[in-house]
Amino acid sequence: MDIVRSIKEINEKVESFKRQGKTIGFVPTMGYLHEGHQHLMKTAGEQNDVVIVSIFVNPLQFGPNEDFDRYPRDEERDKRIAIQEKVDLLFMPSVEEMYPKDASIQMTVQSRNDVLCGKKRPGHFNGVVTVLTKLFHLTQPTRCYFGLKDAQQVAVIDSLVQDLNFPIDIIAVPTVREEDGLAKSSRNVYLSTKEREEAPSLYQALEAGRKLVVDGERNPDTIVKGVEHYIQTRTSGKIDYVELLSYPELEPVNQIDGQVILATAVYFEKARLIDNVIFQREGIKSDVTLGG
């Protein structure tokens, strides 16, 4: 596995892959890799000749009161995991390498960003699309892999690729979970023992909401209230939101008709956890359709 830290060197490596006619699978991450990331790497390896993984904690997507400085980092462990997953190239640039000077052009997300997590994180997705635009140019991937745990991010990236005509297939990979259903996350390490016992209730609540749809419920308000009640009575966490929206458009729906997302975010003492389920109008899960 090659470890690359400079833009000059990754340009040279990618050009070499392209000259050889190799397909490139790209997995962008902020490091502190876990089994969710490993699943993305495995999928990329199955579908491409070369796998590139980036590790970059992007300061542009953190707000002034968010956890950029305390975001977990473990470079040596990340390297070992990347080698284990047979990654071909690990791109680990510094902030100075990615942002050597103040930008003269600013990217602004106009839709799909003022709901769910984006509603209380102004500017967050501007930072996401900025760094991904740079990374897409640098890695020139055939396919790029994202976990559906952060389904809003996937929806925003879907818009980015469509609007700017990137010749990239966005592959949305199902959320990887612990045995008890809790979504894998770098922030799970911040949960206390009691909170860790409660945390699987988030996914259970979403599944209970989905099952209401399977049983014939079509009123979004009824479903949202049912999910909220489930979380409030089974955890000590504070609900940030529970929302039911069209997907990937992320628009409010008066009645479930088509692909939707039921999502939640909950504050625990030292961690904010997110989770979601995506399903069709009958409540049935299927492959997620992008390009909306």
- Is 71 annotated as belonging to a binding site? no
Handedness of CA 211, 217, 221, 226 (dihedral sign): negative
- Is 34 annotated as belonging to a binding site? yes
First to last CA, the chain: 37
Report pLDDT for 187: 83
**Residues recorded for the chain:** 292
37 is catalytic: yes
- Is 37 annotated as belonging to a binding site? yes
Axis crossing angle, helix 124-139 with helix 151-163, rounded to the nearest 10: 60
Q: Could you tell me where in the chain the CATH 3.30.1300.10 domains are found? A: 186-279
Report pLDDT for 189: 87
- Is 229 annotated as belonging to a binding site? no
Would you state the structure tokens that stand for residue 19, as one six-digit string? 């000259």
Mean pLDDT by 10 residues, the chain (292 residues): 98 98 97 91 98 96 79 91 98 97 94 92 93 98 96 97 97 94 89 97 98 95 98 97 97 93 96 95 89 68
Residues contacting residue 221 through CB under 8 Å, at least 6 positions apart: none
Would you state the structure tokens that stand for residue 32, as one six-digit string? 């502190």
Q: Could you tell me where in the chain the CATH 3.40.50.620 domains are found? A: 2-173
Would you state the structure tokens that stand for residue 225, as one six-digit string? 């209230």
User: Are 244 and 224 spatial neighbours (Cβ–Cβ below 8 Å)?
Assistant: yes
Report pLDDT for 249: 96
Report pLDDT for 292: 56
Report pLDDT for 111: 93
3-class secondary-structure state, position 242: strand
Options 3.90.1260.10, 2.40.50.430, 3.30.1300.10, 3.20.10.10; CATH of 186-279? 3.30.1300.10
- Is 137 annotated as belonging to a binding site? no
Q: Which class in CATH covers the domain with range 2-173?
A: alpha beta
CB atoms within 10 A of CB 111: 13
